[in-house]
Structure formats: C-alpha cells, structure tokens
Chains A and B, each alone.
Chain A
Amino acid sequence: MSEIVFSHAKKAYDSKKTVIEDLNLVISDGSFTVLVGPSGCGKSTTLRMIAGLEPLSAGELVMDGQRMNEVAPEDRDIAMVFQNFALYPTMTVRENIEFGLINKKIPREERQKLIADVVETVHLAEYLDKNPGELSGGQRQRVALARAMVKKPKVFLMDEPLSNLDARLRNEMRTELIELHKRLQTTFVYVTHDQTEAMSMATDIVLMHDGVIKQIDAPMKIYNDPNNIFAAQFIGTPAMNMFDLKKYSKQNNIPAQAKYIGFRPSRVHFTDEAAVSMDKMDFQGRILTHEFFGSEIIYRLQTDCGILSLKTFHKEELPLDMEVQVYVARKDCYFFDEKQNRVRCS
C-alpha cells in the first residue's frame, strides 16, 4: 500500500512567488500517474514535495496513511530518477548503484545479489565497471533506473527522465517503463511536459496548469471527455480546434451557455456539398499548409472563424490555396462556457 495524498498543499518560495496555491490530489497505490503540463505549472514541484526535496509551505502530505511533512527524504521509502540522471560522475556504474545500499549498511553478499538482479533487468551487466561519462544517454538512463530499482522503493518518482534521450530511444524506454511498472506493481509518479508520453504510459493523468489541477483522469477519458479548454487543447496533437461561437453564424442546436466550440482535427472531413443537416457543422476554407506524416496528412485551413486544423488519412494530396468545404459531426463537437469549462449536453 502506498497511496499518496496531498490535502490543501501549498508551496511558496517567498511571499511573492507562490507556485502551488491549494493542491488536493490522491495518487492511488500501484498507479502509473503522470503529472503533465507546460513548464512552470508546478508539476516538478509537486514531485519534489513527494520526494521531500521541497518542504510544503502549508497543507499536508500523507503516504500510506502517515503524515510525511516532517519525514526526511531518505526515510520516505521512495526512489527518484532525475531529468539529467544525477549519476555520481566520479563513481563507476556499480558504485553508483551500490552507494545507497552501502549507506543503508546492507551486507556485502546481499548487495552483490541485489545488484546482479537489477543490472540483469536493465541490461547493464557489462558496463558495471565503467564511469557514467563513458556511457551513452540511454545507458546512463538505465543506470539511473537501476539505482532507483535496487532500493526496492514503494514509490518511484521520475522527473522528465526521457527528455534527454533522442526520439528513437525515448520510444524504446517508454515501452520499457510500461513493462517495468507492470512487473513491479509499485506506484510510479512521473513528470513530463510531453502529452504523448503522458498519453502512452499513464494509467492516470494529472493535468496541471499554473499550479492548479485542470483534470485528473485516465488517458482515453481525458482525451475523449475533457473538462475544460486547457485539457482539450493540451492533450492530443494537433491541438483541438477552438472557435468563438460568435464567429460561427450558422448556430444550430447549440447549448445556451456555450461560448466556445471545439473539435478534434481528426474528426473533420472533406465534403463536396454544403451541409444542411442539423447534426453537422460545416466550414469553408482555403488550404494554408499541409504536413505529411506518412500515414496521415495535416492540413491547416483559413476559415471565417479562424485557422482550422484537419487530420486525414486520405492518400491524395490537395494543392495549397485550394478552396475546400469541410464538416464535423455535431456529436464530435465540444462546447465550453465563458470560464472555459465544459458545457455538457444532456
């Protein structure tokens, strides 16, 4: 059991700079929780508060039903993987992994066994006597993971651990982390600004903005059922199209409080005739740009309402500056009120 609960947590570095005003969050045991948001949203601070590297200014942090505010980082039974790995550069891989164990006064034979186990898991056996400086980015990442795993912590904390790797390696490590989580069954708390990472790995996503949680949900839920404009636009690429309803003249069957309309680029379709149906919203536009991604093409259209993105899997390529007619099904539209919160149609 290692449930992590923040209640009314506040973090301020000084009187002027409050990072987090009032955080209430439950990270459930065994979950792969990803804290995601743009830089400066407080996600790293939240993680560091769990680690004990940043004390709470107010409020309470509870792990396993035990108040953690005053507990020193080393006594929290957590392990952390840092963004730049934070390997000890003057120690070999083995010494890096062993350091925490020696400090905990674990006998030598047991240490050897633990290290042997862990290096096998992360495929590092042949690098044990190298210095971190001699390793590639991916290998250093593995050492950092091994160093965390060998402690058998109740909670793994990861602060953008993949951001220093190249794209291919990042994809690889993503899969490995998912497998690792499945095998260890411990709580993972993972910080990233990359929504793709959040979507692909998380069991729960905590979406943050300006120190406030905008939505907590499973990836598919947050994608299909966003609570507000921020969640709608932050998750999914390209971002959800969002228009002010004032600019959209053909108002048909729109909820009363709605001020904004949003819909995913992948839900927009080309059509030949102007839609007359009540369950379709249609737009006319001129093709500004097109980007090819192999299986799909992303168009950007200039419409009366603004710029509209469209994602299509059609093979044929439409020329720039072509006038086109597109529509989106009424059921694929999301409406938001003045405060940018979701208006759900009954």
Chain B
Amino acid sequence: MLQEKTVISLMKNKTVSDVRKRVWYSAWKKLKPYAFVAPALVIFLVFSIYPAFRIVELSLYHWNLVSPAKDFVGLQNYVNLFHDPEFFETLRNTILYTVLTVGLSLSLSLFLAIYLKNDTSVNRFLQRLIFSPYIVSLASISFLWLWLMNSDVGFLNYVISLVGIEKVDWLGNPHVALFSLVLISVWKTAGYNTLIVLASLQVIPKHLYEAAALDHANQWRTFHKITLPMISPTLFFITIVDIISSFKVFETIQIMTDGGPQNATNTLVFAIYEYGFKFYKIGYASSIGVVLLIMISIFTILYFRGLANKVHYQ
C-alpha cells in the first residue's frame, strides 16, 4: 500500500520531500492508536502488572521492609503458609464470607428487582433508597454500623429487644462477628445489584411474556424458563464481580473487628496487611498475596470464558 502510494506520487513528478512527508504521514497513521493508549498502558504496567510480578518475587524472600538485605528462601514461605493452621482459618473465613455475601446479596437483589420491576413513582423512590448505601464510603459505613451494632447502646439490639430477643454481641462474639460483617456487605451491595438486575429485567421484550401467557405458562414456569435464562448473563457478571470483591474484603474488618475476636474475622487481605505492615514479614505476606492472586485469577478467567461462551441470542 505504502509503496504503491510512493510510486504513484513519484510518477506525478512530486519532489523528494513530498515523498518523505508521505512516508512519515503513513507511519504516523499506523502509530497513532498506540500513541493514544500509551499513557494508560504505562500506568497499567507500572501500577498493576509490575506489582503483581513483584509480589511473586517477594514471596520467595525473607524481608522486613526496611533492611536493605533480602534473604532468598525459595518456596519456604509457601511451606510455612501451608503448615500454618491460622492461614487455613483465614482462608475459610474469606470463603465463608464470600459465599454468604454473594449468595445473600444476589438472591436479595433478584427478589427486590422483581418486586420493584414496575415503573411507578414509589418503586423509583425505593430503588434510590436501597441504592444509597452504595455511594457511601466503606469507612463511614463501618463507623455507622459500629454504632448500630454496639452491644450495649446499639440500635440493632434495641430493635431485637422490642421483640423480646436477648442482646447479641454482634462484633464481639466469635460465632457472630463474621455474619455481622456479611450483613453489612449485603446491605451495601444489594441496592447496586438490584439496579443492575432491574436493568436486565427491563430489557426482556414484553412480547416474550405475552407469548408465554398464550402458551399456558404459569408464573413460576415463566420465571424459570424465560426470565431467569434471559438475565443469567447479568447474574453471572454480578456473581463473579462480587466474588472477586468479597475476596478482597478489608475496610470493615480493619475498622470494626481488627480480625478478631479470636481470629474469627481474619481474612486473606487483612492477613496480608497484618503480616506485611504490623509484623514486617513482607515475604510471608506476599505469599498470601500470591494465593489471593491465583484465586482471583481463576474467577477472572472463568468470567471471560463465560462471557465468550454465553449464548448471544437474537
């Protein structure tokens, strides 16, 4: 293409400088897209890709963050990690937290979305109301709920005392604390998820429901065979994104429970923070980071696989 153009312009008795200009122009045309993405690419490489590799590298050392010397220990950190019962407790907490948060948030938002599907002014108001927690920062939310869940003067205990239930030590009881955190997370994410599910419900063509009505489908059949399959790509998306973000839970734990009581709310990211910045065991913290990285990668791959395989209807 380029040569052809060059020849043509030569044939037209163009000067050499014209030809040179033309060559430069076509080179610039090819490079232009790369030039535009370059800044973003650089930031991405420096702040995302490099740290990821760096974590893998650091996990092979003993290092206390400040000393100039790092001891290469090979896979020793991983060996220690997999012999550490506390790590498995952390892993268990993370997974339990994730399963509960995602499961509850998803079912609640599906329920709410169907309930709020009709476009009335009351429903629009309710949509905004349940969405509002999402725009508040997690730190503020944590402080808010710290008060609500206070075992002596908290609002929650006041409410349950009205119906005659005994006081609950929401954050101090090791059997309850993790569930309290799940409650907060569901409260925060359900509204956002509801809006997304709602949007996907509203794009289902109305005539499908009419066809189903003429096809003798009852409500459950209609939901199970038409609504659910139609919104399944959205549900899949929310599930994966929520799983990944639940894996990374940190703020509420840091502010509300500090991983306690008795390690009951210690999760992977909180453990990374503690080992790295409280105990200065950077290598060990990094190895936990690598485990988390792998877990998240698995779900990310699943997500993109799922996206590619999803049926593209119509």
Contacts and interface: CB of A to CB of B under 8 A. Distances in A.
Say whether A associates with B. yes
Contact of A103 (B210, B215, B311, B314): B215
B216 A86 contact: no
A89 B312 CA distance: 9
A74 B313 contact: no
A140 to B, nearest CB: 9
Interface stretch (B4-12, B218-226, B275-283, B293-301): B218-226
B217 A133 contact: no
Contacts of A90: 226, 229-230, 232, 311, 313
A133 B313 contact: yes
A281 interface: no
Contacts of B313: 89-90, 131-133
Contacts of B73: none
B312 A53 contact: no
A5 interface: no
B235 to A, nearest CB: 13
Contacts of B210: 51, 53, 73, 80, 82, 86
Interface string A89-114: 11100000001100110000000000
Nearest to B222: A103
A131 B311 contact: yes
A72 B216 CA distance: 10
A133 B207 contact: no
A269 to B, nearest CB: 49
A80 B211 contact: yes
Which of the four size classes fits the interface of chain B?
Answer: 20 to 34
Contacts of B217: 74, 99-100, 103
Contacts of A100: 214-217
Contacts of B215: 74, 99-100, 103, 147, 151
A84 to B, nearest CB: 7
A91 B218 CA distance: 17
A86 B213 contact: no
A104 B217 CA distance: 8
Contacts of A99: 212, 215, 217, 225
B213 A84 contact: no
A191 to B, nearest CB: 14
A88 interface: yes
B224 to A, nearest CB: 11
A78 interface: yes
Interface in A111-157: 131-133, 147, 151
Nearest to B229: A90
Given A88-B208, A132-B314, A133-B311, A53 B216 contact: no
Nearest to A102: B221
A49 interface: no
B314 A74 contact: no
Contacts of A79: 214
Contact of B213 (A53, A88, A104): A53
A80 B208 CA distance: 12
A88 B214 contact: no
Given A90-B311, A132-B314, A133-B312, A73 B214 contact: yes
A73 B218 CA distance: 12
B68 interface: no
Contacts of A91: 225, 229
B164 interface: no
A84 B205 contact: yes
Nearest to B204: A89
Contacts of B212: 88, 99
A80 B207 CA distance: 11
Contacts of A74: 213-217
A104 B205 CA distance: 23
A103 B211 contact: no
Contacts of B230: 89-90
Contacts of B207: 82-84, 86
A214 to B, nearest CB: 28
Given A74-B213, A133-B314, A147-B215, 20 more contacts: A51-B210, A53-B213, A73-B210, A74-B215, A74-B216, A80-B210, A82-B207, A82-B210, A86-B205, A88-B226, A89-B313, A89-B314, A90-B229, A90-B313, A100-B215, A103-B218, A132-B314, A133-B312, A133-B313, A151-B215
19 contacts: A53-B213, A73-B210, A74-B214, A78-B214, A82-B210, A82-B211, A83-B207, A84-B207, A88-B211, A90-B230, A90-B311, A99-B217, A100-B214, A103-B215, A103-B216, A103-B218, A131-B311, A131-B313, A132-B314
Give 10 nearest A-B pairs by CB, closest first. A89-B313, A90-B229, A100-B215, A103-B216, A86-B211, A86-B207, A74-B216, A133-B313, A73-B213, A103-B217
